[in-house]
Amino acid sequence: MQSLLSLITFFILATGCKNASSSPALATDTLAVKDTIIKDTVPATPLPKPYTGLVFQKQETLSAAKGTKSVIFNSAGSKLYAMNLEGMSVYEFDQATRKISREFKFTPTKGTGWDYASNKPIASFQEKPVEACFSHNDEVLWVSLHNAGGIVPIWVNNLSKNTTGNGTQKIKPVTVIYPGSGQKESFHVPLIATGKTPKVISKTTDSKYVLVSNWHSYNTSILETDTAAFPYAKVISTIPVSDIPRGIAVDDKNQKSYIAIMGGSSLNVVDNNTWKSESTMKVASSPRHVVMDTSGHLFVSYNSLATIACIDAASGKTLFKTGTHAQPRTIVLSKNYKFIFVTCYSSDFVDVYKINDDNFEKVASLPCKGHPVGVDVFENDEKLEAWVCSYSTGSISIYSFKKK
């Protein structure tokens, strides 16, 4: 009898250990693809405690630089990086203190820009940061330079890795300024050619590939990364699209990417195994930005229609939509994918919606002077902060919400 009880106890313990090791809450952050385990290079950020509501509390305003175009938090939410297009720099803000900890300043060289009002080329400078994307555990910040025809990788945590290479690769000088201290550091970053007027940068979860939408080239560049060898990435595919591209959403689970064709009325669907166009998804006019949740839903901002929509990625069917203030630009989802934040450029508003099963429920419409364009969110268990950059005022507005 004692032997039988021992066998039963052993079976229960073994089964329990097996179940524990396979539990999503306890398992290593991995992605299973075709029976092969691929480790995610981005550390898993603990999800905040469950919440179902947001209550607006206050707004703060920080000074940035002229023509701030986009903002992005690192995974930990401790640092926010602001791409200052007209200021030709990247500001690093400390989330806790609200202060600029470093400025990555580009050295300007003459280039040709674009006047979006008159649709004509103009004299400008090459080194104008537009958008950015983190890869490799937030070690590398990829920045698109509006008039330089490419992107640059910046090692933000270990500046000594920013090397000049072998002399054959195009490089851009950068000076790091530490406000209030007088301390400066200088280095070079490689300019990796993609296409004319690069805009949005995205990546696969494992950081192996970086995608860049090239506005005036009517294509999207696919780069394979190699952080062990300068210049750290090379273009392996160029995907033509029908018109001006901008937003990019990468679906690692289904090995697809969705490129918003802002100059038309479609999303270009890409096969991530071949890095070629697979199909065209018909949508409404002027899709600018596109993001994705974990349930196969795409969220799109339609710039000229003052609308956002939720689309089923598998079928291409629009599930629901709602009107916004004029010219919705960047959109971002909360960490639990239950709320969406929308910057509305010409109307000077930030719209916030709760995402229900079949509709968007408005939470707040918040005034935001200076043409808001970029947004990202910080969260902890008690609050959510939406950091919004305004282009014409060169400022960042922080909207704080209490969770409930």
Q: What is the pLDDT of residue 48?
A: 72
Beta-bridge partners for 294: none
Conformation bin of residue 116: beta by default, left when phi > 0, alpha when psi is -120 to 50? alpha
Q: What is the pLDDT of residue 66?
A: 87
DSSP-derived letter for residue 197 is S
Q: What is the pLDDT of residue 166?
A: 75
- Classify burial at 316, counting beta carbons within 10 Å of its beta carbon; exposed 0-12, middle 13-18, buried 19 or more: middle
In angstroms, the CA 326 to CA 61 distance is 22
Task: Say how many residues make up the chain.
Answer: 404
Please, what are the averages of pLDDT over each run of 10 residues along the chain (404 residues)? 40 36 31 33 64 98 95 98 98 98 98 92 97 98 98 97 87 96 94 98 98 98 97 98 98 98 98 98 98 98 98 98 98 98 98 98 98 98 98 97 97
- In 3-state terms, what secondary structure has residue 318? strand
* CA-to-CA dists, residue 235 to 132, 258, 302, angstroms: 17, 19, 29
Beta-bridge partners for 346: none
In angstroms, the CA 89 to CA 299 distance is 30
DSSP-derived letter for residue 163 is -
**Residue bearing tokens 């070629």:** 276
Q: What is the dihedral of CA 114, 260, 149, 202, to 10 degrees?
A: 140
- The structure tokens listed for 79 are 């640092």
Q: What is the pLDDT of residue 5?
A: 40
In angstroms, the CA 260 to CA 212 distance is 12
Alpha carbons within 13 A on the beta-carbon side of 65:
23
Q: What is the pLDDT of residue 167?
A: 81
